[in-house]
Structure 1
Amino acid sequence: MTIQAVRLNHAVLFVADVERSIAFYQAAFGAEIVAREPRANAAFLRMPRSGNHHDLGLFGVGAQAPRRPGAIGLYHLAWQVDTIEDLEQARMTLAELGAYSGESSHGATKSVYAKDPDGNEFEVMWMLPKEHWGDYENAAPVERLDLGSEVDRWAGVRTASELIPLEA
């Protein structure tokens, strides 16, 4: 019998400087600290609209040589946003932080990419409504993203479920 998981619940990263990483994730995502574990030099963060206990754990291990790109290990994390406008805002925020590294259309998802202060890559993505996946239901191409056209087409369409409602 297989494990009946429903989704990935959280990620934990080893970072050089916990406070620097906390500041980055607060500036990028508005993350809040929900817990600290001083014995492990760790902090646990929650995204503002998450109903989860924590979405990201940060464990400080001190300065180390970064893992070379393409080495065995985690490639990136992906944070989902609710609207295509949220994705457009994410691109601007990440560029302002000097973290933005690229963008792609993967058919059913539209993505921008960035790196945190330790070089951990992450994706911020928006998913098309499921009824519009079409040929992309079983495909994941890497194509050029025309975010302006996507905003024009999908403005106001919410696709993330089980979110804490926006404050009015």
Structure 2
Amino acid sequence: MIRITRLNHAVLYVRDVERSSQFYQSIFGFTEVAAVPGRMAFLRAINSNNHHDLGLISLGSQAPSPPLGAIGLYHLGWEVETIEELSTAAQLLQKLGLLRGASDHGASKSLYAQDPDGHQFEILWQVPKEVWGQLENQVFVAPLNLEQELKHYSSLT
């Protein structure tokens, strides 16, 4: 058995590494820690202890997108610390026209969007574990009422 502690980073193929790097820096506040111009970039999240959390490798402007529903990565999930930060993220994604969906998963509250190459990502706030109860072992998906969740959970964060 290999004892994994957590996912350390993800690497994405993109068409334009500079465009993608700028996107992740402007949306998430990532810092570019290393790059080979025009070919690859490595980005770190604000509070991360990792060397990098996201790698970007350019395949060029003509690289095809994988067909929808093909085997492969569905999305990356990026966690925020508070429900208020999730609300701020929702406002930003909405303003930029990037918000594609929002779900209540019981143990987490999630927003869905995609980057310039169509990679889907989730921004989530995880409900404090002591509140999970039965939700820990259930698959739960419902529409997210962020305003209601803010009122309910603001006192816990």
TM range (shorter): over 0.9
Counterpart of 1:48? Answer: 46
- Matched letter for residue 127 of structure 1: Q
1:37 shift after superposition:
3.2
Shift of 1:65: 2.2
Structure 1 residue 12 corresponds to structure 2 residue 14: no
Name the structure 2 match of 1:115.
114
Map of 2:139 onto structure 1: 140
CA distance in 1, matches of 2:155, 2:52: 28
> Which residue in the other structure is 2:104 paired with?
105
Letter of the 2:24 counterpart: Y
**RMSD across aligned C-alpha pairs, in angstroms?**
1.3
Moved more, 100-109 or 148-157: 148-157
Moved over 3 A (4+): none
Number of aligned positions between the proteins: 156
Q: Offset of 1:155 from its aligned partner?
A: 1.1
Deviation at 1:148, TM superposition (A): 0.4
Stretches of structure 2 that go unaligned for 5 or more consecutive residues are none
Q: Hey, what does 1:71 align to over in structure 2?
A: 70
Partner of 1:82: 81
Letter aligned with residue 53 of structure 1? H
Could you state the TM-score of these two structures normalised by the residue count of structure 2?
0.94
2:2 maps to amino acid: I
Q: Which residue of 1 aligns with 2:95?
A: 96
Question: Separation in 2 of the partners of 1:31 and 1:153?
Answer: 30
Contact 1:85 1:156 in 2 (8 A): no
CA distance in structure 1 between the partners assigned to 2:99 and 2:71 by the alignment: 23
1:26, 1:96 → 2: CA distance? 17
Give the structure 1 partner of residue 2 of structure 2: 3
User: Tell me, what secondary structure is at the counterpart of 2:156?
Assistant: coil
Deviates more, 1:69-78 or 1:94-103: 94-103
Amino acid at match of 1:58: L
- Return closer, same or farther for 1:17/1:128 CA change in 2, 3 Å cut-off: same
Q: 1:7-66, CA deviations, whole angstroms, 9 ceiling, x for partnerless residues?
A: 00000000000011011101110111001135x811000111112111000000112221
TM-superposed CA distance for 1:104, in Å, is 0.2
Structure 2 counterpart of 1:58, from 44, 56, 59:
56
Would you say the 8 A contact 1:83–1:156 is kept in 2? Answer: no
Between 106-115 and 43-52, the greater mean CA deviation after superposition: 43-52
| 2:112 aligned partner, one-letter code | Y
Q: Measure, in 1, the Cα distance between the counterparts of 2:36 and 2:26.
A: 22
**TM-score scaled by length of structure 1:** 0.88
